[in-house]
Structure 1
Amino acid sequence: MNKDNSPPRLKYAYATDSATLIAIFDEPVDSLVGAMVGNYLIDGSLSIASATTIAPLFNSVQLKVNTAFTINTVYTLTVNNLADCAHNTIGSANKAKVGLPEEASTQNLVINEILFNPKSNGFDYVEFYNQSNKIIDASKLFVANRNSTGDIGSIKKIFPTAYYVFPGDYFVITEDASSLEMNYHVKNPDGVIVLPSLPSYPDDEGDVILLNEQGNVIDEVKYKNDWQFKLIDDPEGVSLERIDPAGASRDATNWHSAASTAGYGTPTYKNSQYKQTQAVDATIEIMPKTFSPDNDGHDDVATIQYKVIEPGYIANIIIYDSQGRAVRYLVKNGTLGINGLWNWDGLDEKQTKLPIGIYIVYTEIFNLQGKKQHFKNAVVLAGKLN
């Protein structure tokens, strides 16, 4: 019988309410030692009020804190002197971040890297990046594609239990972690989530969609194989990387093949092609916030007002419904003055009246010197109920 000489590791922690957290270890721990309050520290002027080792597996401990957690705050839990049943004491793997999760909304998390044409011994993978200040629970996220009719399909839950994605974190989904590590440098193996199967992402083109628990689209990329660098002889095994996380998801110029010097893929860490676009000093405002295009002479159009500090900018405006679908391409490569406006009449691309609801006006402003900025403004299309 092999003797256990390995100390326990703190894998992760998550909150069950504003004053309770669960610490998860990689093996069962001594239940008496696990229940000692003095073995746990948490920053942010908080202290541990009680500790309970959870049966029957004894690989988790419930901790109560004396003061409620604050939203948008990341805390660090430190565990000392904890031992397993073989009396091995926890070592350097004794810290975990924790906090209160929030629901993910549009562009909080972005699709950051896609491998849709893997090597013959490999598997697809998709990387996500949390560019918000929110703590997001991956167990409330879903990945999907679009079927032949354009509807969202093949929806897969990303993780069965709480798995926190903190601000600035990357995580990857794939079907085989060992294959991923064999073909690419994986800086953070704990950031790899294995799913039994991914939605289908064809080699030529496809849709990668991230959804929240309500079924709303957080991010969507309609990729094409010709987005790869044109001088690559064989794109097999080469991932597509997002250049600027804040840039447009569906803009081919915001994507590039991963660098050969990075092994053609950077799962779980910053992209080899990462580049932050220089921001534009501009404002976008919509008036009124609620409009009713019923031709009664009162708030029949939504006016999108812009202001920039210098000439030479170009704008694109796309209007999305609450499901993340583009319903109107309002402006395409429109040249801007110092200030001006556009009007939206509540119609879609086919000049058909859209249903009542919340819409997102997505504005991209850029110039030929590389400055670029994106704006998302919500507007309510109202009307009389039948």
Structure 2
Amino acid sequence: MYADYVGGSAFVLQATANDLNFNDSIVFMGVVCKYSSTYGTSKFFFDDFYTGPVRIDTIQPTLQQLNVLDSLHIDLLFTEGISLSDAQNVNNYVVNNNIGVPATAVRDNMNAALIHLTFANPFVSGQPYTIAFFNLQDLAGNQIPQPLAENFMWYYVQPFDVQINEIMADPSPSVQLPEYEYLELYNRSSYPIQLKDWTLTIGTTVNPLPSYQLPANGYVILCHSSAVSALSAYGVALPVISSTTALTNSGTSLNLKSNDGRTIHYVYYSDNWYQSSFKANGGWSLEQIDPMNPCGEAANWIASTNVKGGTPGAQNSVYRSNLDVQKPDLLRAALIEPDTLILTFSETILDNQWLVPTNFTVDHGVGNPISASFINNDQKKVLLVFQQAGFIKDTVYTITVAAGVKDCAGNTTNSSLTTSFAIGDSVVAGSFIINEVLFYENTGGSDYVELYNPTQHTYNLKDVKWAKVDDTGQISDLYEITSEGFYLFPNDYVVLAKSSKGVTSFYSTPFPKKILEMPSFPALSSTSGRITFVNKSFEFIDDFSYTDGMHFQLLNSFKGVALE
């Protein structure tokens, strides 16, 4: 009895038997099954049977697939099983350009047609090679054609070579695509890239990628196993995502890492990126506009314009040149511990070598931090730890960041960047006032609330909540303004909005850094409503009730007009 446990034709002898009740003159074939009520007929399974002369294999084995796993490892898959002695003889393989024979050759335990080669001399990234094969025979003794050689190339993948290029986070209701979540990867490099042992982390869940060679300038769809069949109609679909609802509708982090643990592409998408409230309701994918701008975030992502709702496995419908020509900027700083400061930049910072303590200096004699690092995988945020908690209340500090900050596109600052921070004072009634409200947003825009600090104190809006108050004056819900800190300095303003772009696209904003996108901006009625802010003790700081009757009534429309 021979068997191939991977379903191919590389049969390996399992057992032999003779029945002494029958001699060679009696030739017949049949199956006898003995079963009980516990193990009924449904427990027996048979495939095709063949009875006749012994089938003799006369076909030569040939190479079916070559996978370069990394700089030292190659997998060879032949059309049929190779004899163990031939497969594991290292002298039966040789690679040119000073690589030579492999250090080891191991036939796979489960698939006799698969051979794993390990070399002592590493391949050079981007250099073409040829591997030649000799004296390899299949299990029936058929030898491979001579000469047999195969060209290959190994490439050391660089950040952004493979990108998260399309996100279907909310597939329901479907437009025309199958109703499944998916991600699309795009290889923008000129080399095929092997994805074996890569990982895709969605939020906190790590999803391993299977062996697959992503062609140069090629696409691959990542989805749940239940979606593979339906999405395969649009391209290669791999069962990678562990849950059918892994992609949060409102947004989450996506971190694609290579087999050596390096982040190749990181995206934290948001439902604000659709730039269409209609499409954000489901059935439409988010598409990256320009792969040459991989850290463009909201400025480089938008809802698909394809009539099907997305373009899995194909060039994005919104594809166009959208290069990043802006240098990174320092948006803000916030103390999260007495000795720890977080800096937030306008875009992802690329160069780790720049991230050294001496590039950061705080005035009032504080000096340099003792350590500087990115926060987890978010390279827009830098964590600075100082020697001791020497910051004083009622003092506004300035931090200076040295020139040389570089973004993903290579734009580099040629002068220093500065921003201010402080220890926030206790927030009480009247600490700030509601100064301006837009409650009937422009189409494609964002409602906003402007706060003004008339005092000589600095307040951290992390200590403030937006409260939803019912008709009896009781708080029914609370909305976080910021989780990391955002300062409202003396005699200064801050604008709270769902989308900063929804404000800057419609109004003159000479100080865009003062616009703070809230994690969840409350819905404002376009006719009447109440806006309330409270401190940690739920004491009212300011409270404002509005109606559209407060507008100048001769206006043609109140849409896009704020109350001041």
1:205 and 1:222 in contact (8 A); partners too: yes
Q: Summarize deviations over 1:239-294 as a string: whole Å, max 9, x none.
A: 22211113254632412334436x44433443333223357598999999642525
Aligned equivalents of 2:150, 2:228: Cα separation in 1: 26
Name the larger-Rg structure: 2
Distance 1:112 1:75, change over 3 A: farther
In 1, the alpha carbon distance for the partners of 2:316 and 2:323 equals 18
2:64 pairs with 1:10: yes
- Taking the aligned partners of 1:156 and 1:78, their CA distance within structure 2 comes to 36
Amino acid at match of 2:224: E
**Mapped partners of 1:9, 1:72: distance in 2:** 23
Q: 2:417 is matched with which residue?
A: 343
Q: Secondary structure at the match of 1:144?
A: strand
Q: Could you tell me how far apart the structure 1 residues matched to 2:486 and 2:317 are?
A: 43
- Of 88, 92, 99, the residue aligned with 2:154 is 99
Q: Which moved more, 1:274-283 or 1:217-226?
A: 274-283
The structural deviation recorded for 1:115 is 1.4
In structure 2, the CA distance between the partners of 1:29 and 1:248, relative to structure 1 (3 Å rule), is same
Name which of structure 1's ranges 8-17 and 269-278 shifts more when overlaid on structure 2.
Answer: 8-17
Q: Which residue of 1 aligns with 2:29?
A: none
Q: Does 1:60 align with 2:94?
A: no
| 1:144 corresponding residue in structure 2 | 201
Alpha-carbon spacing, 1:6–1:211, altered in 2? closer, same or farther (3 Å): same
Superposition RMSD on alpha carbons, in Å? 5.5
More strand by share: 1
Counterpart Cα distance in 2 of 1:287 and 1:217: 18
Distance 1:323 1:69, change over 3 A: same
2:321 paired residue number:
276
CA-CA distance at 1:112 after TM superposition: 0.8
Matches within 5 A, 1:1-386: 1=48, 10-15=64-69, 18=72, 20-25=73-78, 28-29=81-82, 52=105, 54-56=107-109, 57-63=111-117, 68-73=122-127, 75=129, 97-99=152-154, 101=156, 105=159, 107-118=160-171, 122-131=179-188, 138-146=195-203, 153-159=204-210, 168-176=217-225, 179-180=227-228, 182-183=230-231, 185-187=233-235, 189=236, 192-197=238-243, 200-211=246-257, 218-225=264-271, 227-228=273-274, 230=276, 236-249=282-295, 251-260=297-306, 263-277=308-322, 280=325, 290-293=358-361, 295=363, 321=375, 323-327=377-381, 341-344=415-418, 350=485
Question: Taking CA–CA contacts closer than 8 Å with sequence separation of 6 or more, which of the two structures ends up with the larger relative contact order?
Answer: 1
- SS of the equivalent of 1:252 reads helix
Per-residue deviation, 1:142: 2.7
1:155: how far off? 2.6
Q: CA deviation at 1:70?
A: 0.6
User: The residue matched to 2:252 in structure 1 has which SS?
Assistant: strand
Corresponding residue for 2:516?
none
Mapped partners of 1:269, 1:80: distance in 2? 40
1:65 CA displacement:
6.6
Q: Distance in 1 between matches of 2:143 and 2:305?
A: 43
Tell me, what secondary structure is at the counterpart of 2:220? Answer: strand
Contact kept in structure 2, 1:118 and 1:124, CA below 8 Å = yes
In structure 2, how many angstroms separate the alpha carbons of the residues matched to 1:247 and 1:205? 20
2:53 match: none
100 and 347 in structure 1: CA distance in 2 versus 1, 3 angstrom threshold: farther
Tell me if structure 2 keeps the 8 A contact 1:209–1:220.
yes
The alpha-carbon deviation at position 113 of structure 1 amounts to: 1.0
Closer, same or farther: CA 250–277 of 1 in aligned 2, 3 Å: closer
Identity %: 19
Kindly state the Cα deviation for residue 114 of structure 1 after the two structures are TM-superposed: 1.0
TM-score, normalising length: structure 1 = 0.55
Residues 138-171 of structure 1: CA distance to partner in whole angstroms, max 9, x if unpaired? 344332334xxxxxx2232334xx6555764533
Query: Which runs of 5 or more residues in structure 1 are unaligned?
Result: 147-152, 302-318, 332-338, 353-367, 369-386
Structure 1 residues 27 and 118: CA distance shift in structure 2, 3 A: farther
Aligned 8 A contact 1:293 1:346 in 2 = no
Query: Structure 1 CA distance, aligned partners of 2:122 and 2:206?
Result: 35
In the alignment, the residues of structure 1 paired with residue 283 and residue 150 of structure 2 have an alpha-carbon distance, to the nearest angstrom, of: 35
Gaps of 5+ in 2: 1-47, 51-56, 330-350, 383-400, 406-412, 423-483, 488-504, 506-564
Contact in 1 for aligned 2:253/2:266 (Cα 8 Å): yes
For the Cα contact (< 8 Å) 1:180–1:186, is it kept in 2?
no
Q: Relative to structure 1, is the Cα distance of residues 237 and 29 closer, same or farther in structure 2, using a 3 angstrom cutoff?
A: farther
Q: 1:139 to 1:297 in 2, by over 3 A?
A: farther
* Equivalent residues of 2:222, 2:240 under 8 A apart: yes
Separation in 1, partners of 2:230, 2:183:
16
Q: For 1:70 and 1:281, how far apart are their aligned partners in 2?
A: 35
CA contact (8 A) 1:14 1:163 kept: no
Sort the Cα spacing of 1:215 and 1:101 in 2 relative to 1 into closer, same or farther, 3 A: closer
Task: Give TM-score, length-normalised by structure 2.
Answer: 0.41
Distance 2:315 2:241 in 1: 22
